[in-house]
Amino acid sequence: MKTDVLIIGGGMAGLLTAHLLRRSGVDCLLVEAERICGGVTGNTTAKVTSQHGLCYDKLCRRFDDDTARLYWQANEAALEQFRRETEGMDCDWQERDHFVYSCSAPEKLEAELAALQRIGVKADFAARLPLPFATVGAVRFSHQAQFHPLKFISGIVDGLRIFEQTPVRAFEGTTAVTDSGRIRASKIIVTTHFPLLNKHGGYFLKLYQQRAYVLAVEGAGNVGGMYLGADPGGLSFRNHQGLLFIGGGSHRTGKQGNGWMELERFAQAHYPASPVRYRWAAQDCMTLDGLPYIGQYSKNTPELYVATGFNKWGMTGSMAAAMLLRDLMADKENAYTALFDPARSILRPQLLANGLGAMVNLATPTRPRCPHMGCALKWNPHERSWDCPCHGSRFSERGELLNDPATGDLKNAPLKR
């Protein structure tokens, strides 16, 4: 086959990019190794907000006020684009306020509000929250949103050229080799959550993955908005059709965590009459500096592009990526090109942590080993999986691939009982 733009990866970022490109009249097609939305997009709690924790004070200190302002503008533009896309669509779109609360650190809230005021973002302090525990308040962003991502995707996929069960095995320039044949493209965009090419861009050093857990509790009442804790171990809350989603327990993939146990203890203590109806986990790519990587895959690959590293905020991150990639495909100026440039400086403390962690793990003489880059896998007793602490690949106890960046199953995985 032949196309102008080939998109590899059928999650929210890839599908939104295909949707916007098609609307712009660009010939494009998308391939997905499994089923579309079968990965992170199917497990998100789907908060559509430009409030990403207490991120703006951090961005002002890590970069400067202008960078923090640009990041807010990019995510606000993404939120507004979602509003336009969901108008008249049956996807459970609901406008909600979003709160970042603290139980013990009012100074962090004050610093965030001061940073927001400097960069011109309207936010306010909420002293009282309808949560079942004491807080010292929260920073509130009004008129944010929540929705059902799979219902939304079902509303935009008609007419897109999508090929599922089509993993890309190799690249020959801008030709992608699949099991069924070759796809020749002028440009290629990689939206596979964790980028699949190791020899360009250094993403195996620039990214790591975190795992987090969610319970859906029935009959716990309406908390009247969306919430995220700013303290270590802080929890996330939002309602959906009589259920309360409680999220948390985050840890680096492959490192020791407690799975759903912390959330279960919290639910039992605060909602003892509310049964747990569902539980699931999500996985997120984290960058060195808190900003996604969106743009040219590397300086040496002028026709190859990437969108990754949304730092747990994949809804507005995916839309911001799709809007930027649409402009890049048309050689059109975009105000956020430099902000999200994957080739920006990697001299961040997290780089040293990633590198040292990988070296220690590679020197660990245990099996099984991850087929991605040879790291020693760790057994996850809560989800009964083999997890890679270097880059976040996961495998079932029988060795089937669960999460990238690995692209194939384990061979001879030792069974755990």
DSSP notation for 48-81: E-S--SSHHHHHHHHS-HHHHHHHHHHHHHHHHH
Whether 170 maps to a domain, the answer reads yes
Are residues 293 and 390 both part of a single domain?
A: no
Whether 309 maps to a domain, the answer reads yes
Whether 398 maps to a domain, the answer reads yes
CATH of residue 302: 3.50.50.60
Per DSSP, what are the bridge partners of residue 214? Answer: 247, 280
Per DSSP, what are the bridge partners of residue 69? Answer: none
Task: State the pLDDT at residue 366.
Answer: 84
Chosen domain end from 298, 329, 360: 329
Per DSSP, what are the bridge partners of residue 280? Answer: 214
Chain segment 213-258, per-residue pLDDT in tens: 999 999 998 999 999 999 999 999 999 999 999 999 999 999 999 9
Are residues 323 and 356 both part of a single domain?
A: no
* Full DSSP string of 349-397: HHHHHHHHHHHHHHT---S-B-TTT-PBPEEETTTTEEE-TTT--EEET
Task: State the pLDDT at residue 385.
Answer: 94
Are residues 200 and 293 both part of a single domain?
A: yes
pTM over 0.85: yes
Tell me how far CA of residue 166 lies from CA of 142, 161, 310, 360, in angstroms: 41, 13, 24, 35
Q: Which domain holds residue 166?
A: 2-44+151-205+289-329
Task: State the pLDDT at residue 189.
Answer: 98
| Residue bearing tokens 């049956």 | 90
Whether 297 maps to a domain, the answer reads yes
Distance CA(122)–CA(102), nearest Å, equals: 19
Task: State the pLDDT at residue 188.
Answer: 98
* Cβ contacts of 115 within 8 Å, gap of 6 or more: 56, 57, 59, 60, 65, 68
Whether 355 maps to a domain, the answer reads yes
Q: Are strands 236-240 and 226-229 parallel, antiparallel or unpaired?
A: antiparallel
Whether 12 maps to a domain, the answer reads yes
Predicted confidence pLDDT, tens digits, the chain (417 residues): 999 999 999 999 999 999 999 999 999 999 999 999 998 998 999 999 999 999 999 999 999 999 999 999 999 999 999 999 999 999 999 999 999 999 999 999 999 999 999 999 999 999 999 999 999 999 999 999 999 999 999 999 999 999 999 999 999 999 999 999 999 999 999 999 999 998 899 999 999 999 999 999 999 989 999 999 999 999 999 999 999 999 999 999 999 999 999 999 999 999 999 999 999 999 999 999 999 999 999 999 999 999 999 999 999 999 999 999 999 999 999 999 999 999 999 999 999 999 998 898 888 888 899 999 999 999 999 999 999 999 999 999 999 999 999 998 998 777 665
Whether 197 maps to a domain, the answer reads yes
Consecutive H or E run containing 14: helix 12-23
Q: Within 10 A of 12 (CB to CB), how many other CB atoms are there?
A: 29
Burial of 276 (0-12, 13-18, 19+ CB in 10 A): middle
Paired tokens of 138:
């929260």
Consecutive H or E run containing 28: strand 28-31
Q: How many domains, in total, are found in the chain?
A: 2
CATH of residue 388: 2.102.10.10
Task: State the pLDDT at residue 175.
Answer: 97
Whether 168 maps to a domain, the answer reads yes
